[in-house]
Chains A and B, each alone.
Chain A
Amino acid sequence: MVRASAGGHAIEVPVIIESGVAEGVGVLTLGYGRERAGAIGNGNGVGANAYGLSMQASPWLVTGVDLVKSDRTETILRTQNYVEIEGETKKLFRQIDLAALASAEPKGIGADQPSLLDPWKGDAEGHAWAMVIDTDACTGCNACVVACQSENNVPVVGPEEIARGRMMHWLRVDIYDEGSPEAPRAGFQPVPCMHCEHAPCEPVCPVAASVHDGEGLNLQVYNRCVGTRFCEANCPYKVRRFNFFGYADGQPYANLGAESVKAQRNPNVTVRARGVMEKCTYCIQRIATERQAAERDGREMGAIVTACQSACPTRAIQFGDLAKPGNAIAELRKDPRHYALLEELNTRPRTTYLANLRAPNPDLKEDHA
């Protein structure tokens, strides 16, 4: 922890050295720090309020900051490395220069590769849900993560459990920095469940709790799950989350089991018990709601918006029905920037990505690959 002071004001914040930040510069995020945090802060506040340093004259830039090491230390909890995907950044986080875009070819989901498994076939209703995430539009704001958490009753596990590597978010935002540490070509990649057509989590479950439905959704049957965690081990994208304790049910963090907090839960989503696996469902409750409304009104199913999609300020997340003629999602899959994560594993993911687009300034040499 350091004590950062400028113009007679001071705050105490933890420090970490990051690539892509020039020497002599520190970065603070505004909007954090609570003076009263109830049971979570043990009667005290949590975090630090960076507004304490900003000046009215120049609210975004504070100069002449003094840093003094304080006698406290604090662990900075970052979940990024717990779930690192094995592979090269170039393949995992595809970046295309604007000049090369015209000659770029969309990459498929690897459906042309040979496989011992039968190709995916839908049921008679004829839906095929899919998601395309534009990594170029993503600003890494984490709104999708919070939206997913509140929509899907994802419990808060607390800092101790995070430190043990037991996060619960169904959706995470991975950070990539290709290139040198001085000038990293950084970018963000939100990673929900891929809903693979050949899902590696399904054949390893001994009790068939991880199954595929006729609309291409990879389902987790909470009632059936016995908690072997083999699916979690076998997921190459590391998107499955396990209730090591009763995070939502019986053993919640701090005061999060209070009746008033329980009342905030989405009634359309199961609250998961201790010892079961959970993961992104593509907001199946929203799909079901729309299906019921369509049946009631005797019409075709309309557009479905997932929670993450509805929260995204840059519309980086798109969701739709691949089987529906003229759906925008099918068009996005033909975009020259289109690619799938770890397509060489032959998992045939339903969640796919659009590559990060780079438009390097010819005058800035560092910005080139």
Chain B
Amino acid sequence: MSGSAQPHRWTDRERLGYGEICAAVADPIQRRWPGRAWVIAFLGVLPLVPATVIAIGAVLTVGIGLSGVNTTVVWGFSIANYVWWIGIGNAETLISSMLLLTRQHWRASINRFAEAMTLFAAAIAGIFPIIHLGRPLYSYWLAPYPNTMDLWPQWRSALVWDFWAILSYLLFSLIFWFTGLLPDLATMRDRAQSRLGRKIYGALALGWRGSARHWAVYETFRKTMAALAVPLVCSVHSIVGLDFAASLILGWQESIFPPYFVVGAM
């Protein structure tokens, strides 16, 4: 670090060189101990993983009756969580893509967080509708796969639309996140210490060399994806809203639900 005068850590400081920025981001992964704060935070959340695994395992082995839903309130904790996590993911997709489309260069510091959060939120959201089923092992019946009974899903059901909404959103988030990561993966490849690291990062970087042509294609692709993301966010959460609105139940059958869900997610 070259900074000699540091007025306060929140205010603007002297600009670091590119090499130093690279080192600040990449070294905790490749060259040095990530730091005590990181380890404490990691150990703090680590017990939540077995807790989640045990909770999901209990629901799968004992039955969905554990979740407290009943004949009148048929959807509870799981579906509320599903809507919540889709909302979280949507907000991050919007942050990332809107800022890209409006050419806000300061987005570079937060877009990776936002996109990773979207990806994980969408993955978590995808788990809940499966574990809320009475028979989760047959959840794949919602997919139109070829089978001997010639049975397809029932396309009038909002839950089938939902299946496609989650699937497309998950795939989109994965591609958006991964393609955005390419130049950084190439940096990691170049800085890797071990032969194995070079191989893995090299494979993931898909041959990125950072040429002008690469960057031009990259920019066009990112902007196209961002332009796709905005309507996708609206469609995904609208369909989540339709899970409720496309029913006959008082309090659910509300035409305001799809826009309400989309705005709520933001």
A275 to B67, CA, bound (A): 13
Interface hit among B86-94, B102-110, B242-250:
B242-250
* Residue among A82, A208, A224, A245 with the highest chain B CB neighbour number at 10 A: A208
B72 touches A83 (CB 8 A): yes
The residue of chain B having its C-beta at the shortest distance from the C-beta of A81 within the complex is B72
Which residues of chain B are within 8 angstroms of A228 by Cβ–Cβ distance?
Answer: 132-134, 159
**Do the beta carbons of A229 and B74 come within 8 Å of each other?**
yes
Output the least CB separation between B4 and chain A (Å): 63
**Nearest CB in chain A: distance from B256 CB, A:** 19
Contact A204 B158 (CB under 8 A): yes
Residues A227 and B133 in contact in the complex (CB < 8 Å), given A82-B70, A232-B74: yes
Say yes or no: is A234 at the interface (Cβ < 8 Å to chain B).
Answer: yes
Complex Cα spacing A276 to B73, Å: 16
Q: State whether the Cβ of A194 lies closer than 8 Å to any Cβ in chain B.
A: no
Asked if B159 and A204 sit within 8 Å, CB to CB, the answer is yes
Return the contact of A205 from the options B132, B136, B154, B163 (Cβ within 8 A): B154
Contacts of A206 in B (CB 8 A): 141-142, 153-154, 157, 159-160, 163
Which of A83, A204, A243, A345 is B134 in contact with, Cβ under 8 Å? Answer: A243
Q: A residues 162-208 with Cβ under 8 Å of B?
A: 164-167, 200, 203-208
Chain A min CB distance to B205 (Å):
40
| Contact present for B70 and A165 (CB under 8 Å) | yes
| Any B CB within 8 A of the CB of A328 | no
CB-CB under 8 A from B163, the residues of chain A are 206
Shortest B155–chain A CB gap in Å is 9
A234 partner residues in chain B, CB cutoff 8 A: 247-249
- A245 and B72 contact, Cβ closer than 8 Å, known pairs A203-B157, A226-B142, A276-B134: no
Task: Specify which chain B residues have a CB less than 8 angstroms from the CB of A276 in the assembled complex.
Answer: 134-135
B250 touches A227 (CB 8 A): no
Residues of B within 8 A of A32 (CB): none
CA distance A204 to B247 in the complex (A): 7
Is there a chain B Cβ closer than 8 Å to A277's Cβ? yes
- Kindly list chain A residues whose C-beta atoms are within 8 Å of the C-beta of B139: 226
Given A166-B70, A233-B74, A246-B63, CB of A224 within 8 Å of CB of B135 = no
Bitwise, A79-110 to B at CB < 8 A (1) or not (0) is 00011001000000000000000000000000
Neighbouring A residues of B156 by C-beta, 8 Å:
203-204
The chain B residue sitting closest to A166, CB to CB, is: B70
Query: Considering only CB atoms, which chain A residue lies closest to B141 in the complex?
Result: A207
A1 within 8 A of B: no
Per-residue CB contact flags for chain B residues 235-262 toward chain A (1 = under 8 Å, else 0) read: 0000000000011111010000000000
Are B63 and A82 touching (Cβ within 8 A)? no
Question: A244–B142 contact, CB under 8 A?
Answer: no
Given contacts A200-B248, A203-B154, A226-B139, contact A275 B63 (CB under 8 A): yes
Residues in chain B near residue A83, CB distance under 8 A: 71-72
Chain B 112-152 residues near chain A, CB threshold 8 A: 132-136, 138-139, 141-142, 151
**Least CB distance, B266 to chain A, in whole angstroms:** 27
* Complex contact A82–B248 (CB within 8 A): no
CB distance from B144 to the nearest CB of A (A): 11
Contact partners of A251 in chain B: CB under 8 A: 62-63
Cβ of A32 to closest chain B Cβ, rounded Å = 25
Please determine whether A165 and B72 come into contact, CB atoms closer than 8 angstroms.
yes
Please report the C-alpha to C-alpha distance between residue A227 and residue B60 in the assembled complex, in whole angstroms: 13
Q: How distant is the Cα of A243 from the Cα of B134 in the complex, in angstroms?
A: 8
Q: Provided the pairs A205-B154, A226-B133, A226-B141 are in contact, do residues A238 and B72 lie with their beta carbons within 8 angstroms?
A: yes
A277 to B63, CA, bound (A): 14
Q: A348 on the interface (CB 8 Å rule)? A: no
Task: Verify B64–A244 contact, CB threshold 8 A.
Answer: yes
Asked whether A345 and B248 contact (CB < 8 A) given A167-B71, A233-B75, A242-B74, the answer is yes
- For the complex, is B17 an interface residue (Cβ under 8 Å from A)? no
A233 in contact with B153 (CB, 8 Å) = no
- A residues less than 8 Å from B249 (CB atoms): 233-234, 236
Q: How far is the CA of A154 from the CA of B142 in the complex (A)?
A: 28
Binary per-residue interface labels of chain B (172-201) against chain A in the complex, 1 for a CB within 8 Å, 0 otherwise = 000000000000000000000000000000
* CB atoms of B247 and A229 under 8 A apart: no
Cβ of B69 within 8 Å of any chain A Cβ, yes or no, is: yes
Q: Cα distance A200–B156 when bound, in Å?
A: 11
A241 within 8 A of B: yes
Specify which of A203, A236, A241, A245 is in contact with B71 (CB 8 Å cutoff).
Answer: A241
Residues of B within 8 A of A225 (CB): 134-135
Residue B3 at the chain A interface, CB threshold 8 Å = no
Q: A206-B159, A207-B154, A226-B141 are in contact. Are A232 and B71 (CB under 8 A)?
A: yes
The yes or no answer to A274 lying at the interface (CB within 8 A) is: yes
Assess whether B68 is interfacial by the CB under 8 Å rule: yes
A230 within 8 A of B: yes
User: Closest approach, in angstroms, between the C-beta of A271 and any C-beta of chain B?
Assistant: 15
B65 at the interface (CB under 8 A from A): yes
On whether the beta carbons of A165 and B134 are closer than 8 Å, the reply is no
CB distance A226 to B157 under 8 Å?
Answer: no
Residues of B within 8 A of A164 (CB): 68, 70
Q: Using Cβ atoms and an 8 Å threshold, which residues of chain B touch A208?
A: 151, 153-154
Q: Is the CB of B247 within 8 A of A233?
A: yes
**Top 9 nearest A-B pairs by Cβ distance?**
A227-B134, A275-B134, A244-B65, A165-B70, A206-B159, A208-B154, A229-B74, A275-B135, A203-B156
Listed A/B pairs (7) with beta-carbon separation below 8 Å = A83-B71, A83-B72, A203-B156, A204-B246, A208-B154, A225-B134, A226-B138
Known: A166-B70, A204-B159, A205-B154. 12 other contacts (CB 8 A): A206-B153, A207-B151, A207-B154, A208-B151, A226-B138, A230-B157, A230-B247, A233-B75, A244-B65, A245-B62, A274-B63, A275-B64
